[in-house]
Every structure is written in C-alpha cells, then in structure tokens.
Amino acid sequence: MSSFWKNLTKGIVKSNPTFILMLGLCPTLAVSTSLDNAVGMTAAFVVVLVLSNIIVSAIRNYVPDRVRIPVFIVIIATLVSVVDLMMQGFMPALSKSLGIYIPLIVVNCIILGRAEAFARRNGILDSIADGLGIGIGFGVAIFLISFIRELLGTGKLELFGFKLFSIPGLDQNPAAIFLFPMGAFLVIGLLLALFRQLGVSKYE
C-alpha cells in the first residue's frame, strides 16, 4: 500500500508534468482561459491516462517490445475517441469550447510517456496510482494557470455559470491580455520563475 501512496504523490509535486517535466504544454496553455475548461480538460485527461495505464499494464507481458509504441498509440487513440464522443454527448458546450484539444490528447507526450516509462514495467495497482498522481499534478497546474488568467482577464471567477466572486473595479476594466494566447506564456513563465525562487524546482 505504501508504494501506492508514493506513486500517487510523486506526480503532484516532485515530478509535476507541467511545471517540473514541462511535458504536454499545448493543452495546458491553450484551454486555460477559464475554470470550466480546466475542469473539462482535467477530467478527460485523467480518464484517458488512468485507463491507458491500466490497459498497458495489463497487457505488458504479451506485447513484443518492438511493436509496443504503435500498440500504445492505438490504445490511447481509442480511449481518446471514446472520451471525445462522451463529452460531445453529455457536455456539448464544454466539448465545443475545448475543440480540437480533446482529440489532440492522443499526441500528449505525458500519456505515452507514462505508458513507456511506468505502466509497461509495473503492476496494475501501481499504474493506477501513477496515472492518478500525474493526472492530479496536471490538474493542479492547469487550475492554477486558469485561476490566474480568468481572475485577471475577466476580473471575476465563475464555475459552470455559478459566480464565485469578483474583484470590484477589475471586473469593469479587466486586463484582457491574460485571456489572449500570450497571457498564458506570461503566466507560466512567471510561475516557473516563482517556483524556482521558492525552491520547489531547481535552477538551471
């Protein structure tokens, strides 16, 4: 059981996929304009990552080494198609606002990376823990970035139409640059520097 917790927690801070490993940045930066998007993206991502880890781990003794990458890609692509269809069916508005970034989870290096580096060498339970941990780490990162961008870019925070709070003054004259694509670059650049200053990540 201790290895379960160790695998679960390591993905959140020590090997956070976004801030430490800097993998899979495309969806993190592209959809992090609102908290709704962050929830949707994280949900889709965690489901695909955990399921792909389970399947890869379950078939790890049967897949020949030489063809493993194509096999992993087909597994991931199938799971992504399933999640994409589910989102189109049950959450059409969210699916529309995430757009092509849901099918693009296929080429997200984190998922293939976990299959290659972890799931094909470890048991199913450990692979679930690893998938959950990395998924939560991804979620934390995308939430943090969306939080900052939505708060400064619109002056208020909303979650699925439910207003959480607003900053007086800023909601009339929001700093719209944070909602523009380059706002994402600015936020992640400053966050990375801040984490180094605080000693969470290492200097180069």
Partner 1 sequence: MNRLIAIFFGMALVNNMVLVKFLGLCPFFGVSKKTKSAVSMGIAVTLVMLVASAVTWPIYYYLLVPYGVEVMKTVIFILVIASLVQIIEMAIKRTNLTLYNALGIYLPLITTNCAVLGITFINVDQSYTFWEALVAALGAGSGFLLVLLIMSGIRERLEYADTPRAFRGSPIAFITAMLLGLAFLAFKGMI
> What residues line the site for partner 1 (CB under 8 A)?
22-23, 25-27, 29-30, 70, 73-74, 77-78, 80-81, 84-85, 99-100, 103-104, 106-109, 112, 180-186, 188-190, 192-194, 196-197, 203-204
Shortest distance, CB of residue 183 to partner 1, whole angstroms?
Answer: 8
Shortest distance, CB of residue 160 to partner 1, whole angstroms?
Answer: 24
- How many Å apart are CA 57 and CA 45, to the nearest integer? 18
Given a contact cutoff of 8 angstroms between Cβ atoms, the answer to whether 31 and 38 are in contact is yes
Given a contact cutoff of 8 angstroms between Cβ atoms, the answer to whether 157 and 151 are in contact is yes
- Assign residue 173 a region: left if phi > 0, alpha if psi is -120 to 50, beta otherwise? beta
Q: Which is nearer to partner 1, 164 or 182 (CB)?
A: 182
Q: Which is nearer to partner 1, 160 or 185 (CB)?
A: 185
Q: Residue 159: enclosing H or E segment and its boundaries?
A: strand 156-159
Q: Which is nearer to partner 1, 48 or 128 (CB)?
A: 48
Given a contact cutoff of 8 angstroms between Cβ atoms, the answer to whether 134 and 17 are in contact is yes
Q: Which is nearer to partner 1, 12 or 29 (CB)?
A: 29
Shortest distance, CB of residue 181 to partner 1, whole angstroms?
Answer: 5
Q: Which of 30, 11, 48 minimizes the C-alpha distance to 142?
A: 30
Shortest distance, CB of residue 162 to partner 1, whole angstroms?
Answer: 28
Amino acid at 16: N
